[in-house]
Structure formats: structure tokens, C-alpha cells
Structure 1
């Protein structure tokens, strides 16, 4: 598994990819309402109304979830689930499936002992950047579908669904538009992937050295929570920039988006949606890693039979 730093993977790459994609999709289905709330909070800007500043529409994780459900219906919380699953099959399968082979490549075939944390981080950065470069179009469509709130009567939606969104973006904005926000997306996902996988690897390895702890669900739970916390703390600023660039085409570049956000909304804007982000990534990591560990055991039993 991810934290088995001394051995090569005990199942095939195809088995690892399938297990990773399945685990990532399971976590996505369970937690996407929190992700939708996070995107809405991140895209919310200070609005000036008359002679004063308007109160923000969305407040807090639960408040945002409640507002979306009340105004748009419960199903709106699962907006973007189709491209979200597309994304997790590609991105989740590749970033997690390639982690062990890339980590082993960095330490060498003859390495014995605990893999240094620096190599784990480097492997996470590598697989995160590679996977999201391939999966960026799915991320873009997911954010665009999530960003669209309740529209005035008579105003049509930009996209009727995920497939329509892909084709409309290509037709109106060009094929390259599917890779809008690639810079901050690579930065965000490489950093978060490294934080998630390396911290899960490291926390699990540390816990297993404590007397009384074994490679079981409790260990996976603690390691998954640790992975989610580190990922949010490190990745939140680039996550905000990524969401704003994908949700609003007014920004010229990553730097332009960063500077305008800083100027207009202040430095705390980069941690907008921190609690829903942690609620999302913390629960996402717990569900994903618990599912992944069980899925790999299942695949191993099939491959070894």
C-alpha cells in the first residue's frame, strides 16, 4: 500500500489504477456537496450595493449548503458530479496508481529501509502534476457546472450537462480553453497530492511503529485525517486561485488572478472556504484511503488466486 515504503507494490499497476479510481470516485460521490459549497464560497467576491457593501450570499459551509439546497434544490449540491467522476477516474487513478512506481524510481531498485520524506514528497509532486495535466478538462467543466447558481427567470443555463459543456467550450472558446487554469491547477494538485500521499505515507508509517497499532481501519482513519489537514493548509491559496480562474474568464493569468484577489479581497481571501475545504478534503481522504486499502486487498486476493 501507499505506506509500505520497503516493498514494491504487491498488485499489478492495472489493479492499483482500478482500485485508486474506484476509491477516488467513492469519495467524490460522498463529499461533492461540500466541494460545491467550497467553490461557491471561493468565487464569492465583495459586492458593493448602493452606498454600502452587500452582505455575502453564502456564509460558512453549512450555511452555503443550506442556501444552495433551498434556492436550487438538493440535486444542485451534486452539480458537476459527472465530470467529477471523469476527473477521479483519470486523476485519482493516475496520481495514486503511479505513486509507488515513481517513489521506487526515485529511491532506486536496491533501496532498503524507510523511504525519506523528501522522496515521498517528490513522488507526490510528480504524479499530481502529470495526472492533472491529463485531467484538466474534466476539472474545468466540473468547476463551471458547480459555479452556476440560481438564474433569473428566462435566463438559460450556459451548459445543459457535462458532455454539452465539453463541446460548447471547444466550439466557442477553442480546444485549448479546456486547459484554462492549467498553471494554478498543476500547482494546486501537485502540492495537494504531495501533501496527501506523503503525509498519509508518513503518518501511517509512524503510527505502525507505536506498540498496539496494526495496519487496520483505525490506523487508516488517523492517517487519512492527517493527509486531509496537511493538504488543506498547504493547498488552499492555489485552490482559490484555480477556482477563480476556472469560474471567471476575466483573469489574464495566474499572477493577475492572485494580485486582483489580494487587492480586492485581502490576504484572507486565499483561505476562503477553509472549513468546507477541510470538511471536504478531510472526509474525502478518510473515505478514499479506507476504500483504497480494502479495494487493494480485494484485487490482491483476485490476482493471487
Structure 2
């Protein structure tokens, strides 16, 4: 797999799956006249997010481990050189099942992320077009994606904390046990630890993603003569 970074591998597997499935589902269940309802969009986004979470789980584990490596004592560092070596070593040292460690909280997070990000973007965009003088342009796309990033960060924060702690742990611990322990030690504030840095990361990422996606769809429709 070469010197592919874990972050890039995650985007290739996770993001392409969830966006691709979501757009395909919208096309399949759309009548071409009006947009599917909000519950329908949430259901479509949840399905695509779940599939994306499974597809991207191995790369997500690698990404978490490689980011946390520097904080560990030298003797405990895994020192993966790149994503390819990391995948091979995980299978060799921990078994094939290690690739799906934490897949349920990760898939849950993917469902929440996709539903809160993609579905909310479509709804915010629809509301801006219907209730303001803003047209279908970059200003509308920017505004809708900024609000979608805020919603996604807030909804996903608790699962992000759990996912990171599970994937970076040296020992296995059940989700219920983990939640009980950290709630007793830290209170319910643990659910929003790191919200600001998460938004600083996810907000611009969401904006860039949807701005690019809208331009990509515009070019695609033009080339296919759909406009």
C-alpha cells in the first residue's frame, strides 16, 4: 500500500463510502420534483454513515494510534511507518479481528456524523433557499455547511470521546463499563471535552467538503447536460 497515511486512507474508505451511498440513495428515492423529507434524508444518511463507518474502521484505528503514539512512553509506542505497515502489523500481531476493534462506537459515530452533517446541510440549504433571497450559490453553500458543521460537532462529541479512548486503549473494556467509569470520575462534562478543537477541525472541513461537492455536482450536471 506504500507510504499512504492513515488519514488519507480513512478518507478514501470512510468518506467516499458515506457520500457515495447517500447521493445514490437520494437519487433512487427522489421523484425528481421535490427533495425527500427530513426523516427520509436522516434515514438515508444514517444508512450510508453506518456502511462508511464499517469501511473506514481499520484506517480510523490506525489514525488514532498514530496520532497518540508520541504521547506514549517510548517502550509502548507502536511506531507504524505508514498505513500499509500498520494494517499488516495489526493483522499479524493482533489478528484480523483487530481491524474492527471499536467498530460499533465507530459506526455509531459515523451514523451520527453523516445524519447530522449531510442531512442537516440539505435541510439548511433548503431553508435558506426558501426563506431568504440567497440563491443557489457559494454564499448559501457556505452558510449551510457552517451550520451543518456546528450541528455535527455537537451531536458527535460524546461518541468521539468514547471512540478515541477505546481505540487508543492498551486493554479491552466494554462500552458500558467505560461510560460508567468516566462519568463517575469526570461527570457528564466528558461528553463535550474537546468540543472547541473538534469544531475548529470539523467546521472548516465540513465547509470545504460541501463547497467542493456542490461544484463537483455542478460540473457533472453540465457535462451530462442535466441543467
Q: 2:90 aligns with which of 169, 180, 201?
A: 169
By relative contact order (CA 8 Å, sep 6+), the higher-ranking structure is 1
* Whole-angstrom distance in 2 between the partners of 1:225 and 1:84: 22
Over 3 Å counting, the alpha-carbon distance change for 1:153 and 1:228 in structure 2 is closer
Structure 2 residue aligned with 1:93: 16
Instruction: Report the secondary structure of 1:148's partner residue.
Output: helix
Aligned to 2:173: 252
Match of 1:83 in 2: 6
**Separation (CA, whole Å) in 1 of partners of 2:182 and 2:133:** 48
Higher alpha-carbon deviation: 221-230 or 87-96: 87-96
Q: State how far apart, in whole Å, the 1-side matches of 2:8 and 2:185 are.
A: 34
CA contact (8 A) 1:181 1:254 kept: no
Q: Please list every run of 5 or more consecutive structure 1 residues that lacks an aligned counterpart in the other structure.
A: 1-80
- The equivalent residue for 2:67 is 146
Alignment of 1:278-293 (within 5 A): 278-293=199-214
Shift of 1:258: 1.7
Instruction: Output the TM-score relative to the length of structure 1.
Output: 0.68
Query: What TM-score, normalized by structure 2, do the two folds share?
Result: 0.89
Deviation (angstroms), 1:87 = 1.4
Q: Rate the CA distance shift 1:86–1:153 in 2: closer, same or farther, 3 A.
A: closer
2:112 corresponds to which residue? 191
Correspondence for 1:267 among 159, 167, 188: 188
Q: Cα distance, 1:152 vs. partner?
A: 5.8
Match of 1:160 among 57, 81, 84: 81
Which stretches in structure 2 are left out of the alignment for 5+ residues?
none
Aligned partner of 2:216 in structure 1 is: 295
Residue 249 of structure 1 deviates from its aligned partner by 3.3
Counterparts of 1:232 and 1:211, CA distance in 2: 25
| Deviation at residue 141 of structure 1 after TM alignment | 0.5
Shift in alpha-carbon separation, 1:263–1:112, aligned structure 2, 3 A:
same
Structure ranking higher in helix proportion: 2
**Superposition deviation, residue 124 in structure 1:** 0.8
Shift of 1:282: 1.1
Aligned to 1:69: none
What are the superposed Cα offsets for residues 126-185 of structure 1, whole Å, 9 maximum, x if unpaired?
100011111210111111101112566787653222222111111110011011110100
Residue aligning to 1:181: 102
Summarize the Cα distance change of 1:157–1:103 in structure 2 as closer, same or farther, 3 Å threshold.
same
- Partners of 1:140 and 1:178 within 8 A in 2: yes
- Separation (CA, whole Å) in 2 of partners of 1:155 and 1:99: 40
Give the 5 Å matches for 1:203-242. Answer: 203-242=124-163
Aligned equivalent of 1:54: none
Task: Report the alpha carbon displacement of residue 284 of structure 1 after superposing the two structures with TM.
Answer: 0.9
